Amino acid sequence: MSSSTTSSAGLAAHAASQSVPSPPFIQVDGIPNFRDIGGYPITEASSTRRNFIFRSGLPTRVTANGVKTLTQDLKVDTIYDLRSNAELRKDPASALLTSMEGVKVLHTPVFPEKDISPAQLANRYACYMSDKGTEGFVAAYSEILRDGTDAYKTIFEHVRDHPDKPFLVHCTGGKDRTGVVIALLLLVAGVKSWDVVAEEYALTEIAFDAKIRAVFVEKVVADMGVDTDRAGVLRMISARKENMIATLEFIEGEYGGPEEYVKKALGFEDHDIEIIRKNLTVEEKGIF
């Protein structure tokens, strides 16, 4: 069994027994870091829709019970896999999901031809593992924003065109590529507080408890060598609030804000954004 398979199996086994706050986390057997992005306040009387957009870590070890939760309880229609071609070859999508009638599993890679595994990210961004603050995360996330336009456009099109079809978006940990697109969705929905968006991102810190972190660290060390800086790897797999705040500052400076990113980089018009915002919103008080 490969180290990739071993690590994924370890994450899945732990996900089945992990206790995390619900909402927003939802227990889906075999899928770590699974949560709903609904319930975040937009105005005093409105919030983001619940049971429409879900995010998670790798679902390749989902169990039959997990599939039942996804399809029957949560009514998930489409699963968007943001991993690269290289990652998909190492750990293919679950046959339980791809063979399920009525559920579409779509490979929508942020980096189609780049290996964007944690080990490769560490190789490309020494500062990603450093203790110098948010610099490495902004560098990584700026590349995600630049190269992930096709994948992100597909997800925003789903929100615009299929508001009646709940979907799941995931990468490997459900933290970086997934975290950036979820932040954009929340902001375009009208969530005004960067703190709220960053706190949603930082919930992965709860999902990645000591056991899950250990699995990730061992996987990266296996890929990079025994001399790998383990403390640096832990920093790399963190989801600190300040990482997202710094990224939102970058989006403001580079693109003029999230809506301008969606227009300039993804090609949407103002009327598209109005529809997207409407489809992300429900007239009820937020639950967080």
Residue 127: its pLDDT value, please?
60
Residue 5: its pLDDT value, please?
44
pLDDT along the chain (288 residues), means of 10: 44 50 90 96 96 96 96 97 91 92 94 68 62 82 95 98 98 94 98 97 91 80 73 83 97 98 98 98 85
Residue 230: its pLDDT value, please?
79
Report whether 167 contacts 54 (CB < 8 A): yes
| C-alpha–C-alpha distance, residues 46 and 284, integer Å | 5
As given in the structure block, the two tokens for residue 213 are 């972190």
Residue 208: its pLDDT value, please?
86
Residue 184: its pLDDT value, please?
98
Domain coordinates of the chain in residue numbers?
3-281
Report the Cα–Cα distance between both ends of the chain, in Å, rounded: 42
Specify the CATH number for 3-281; select among 3.90.190.10, 3.30.310.50, 3.40.50.300, 3.40.309.10.
3.90.190.10
Residue 90: its pLDDT value, please?
86
Report whether 176 contacts 168 (CB < 8 A): no
Residue 132: its pLDDT value, please?
66
Query: Distance of CA 268 to CAs 142, 157, 164, 194, 261, Å?
Result: 20, 9, 20, 23, 9
Residue type, 228: T
Query: Distance of CA 55 to CAs 61, 180, 271, 282, Å?
Result: 16, 11, 26, 19
Q: Is 222 exposed, middle or buried (0-12, 13-18, 19+ CB in 10 A)?
A: middle
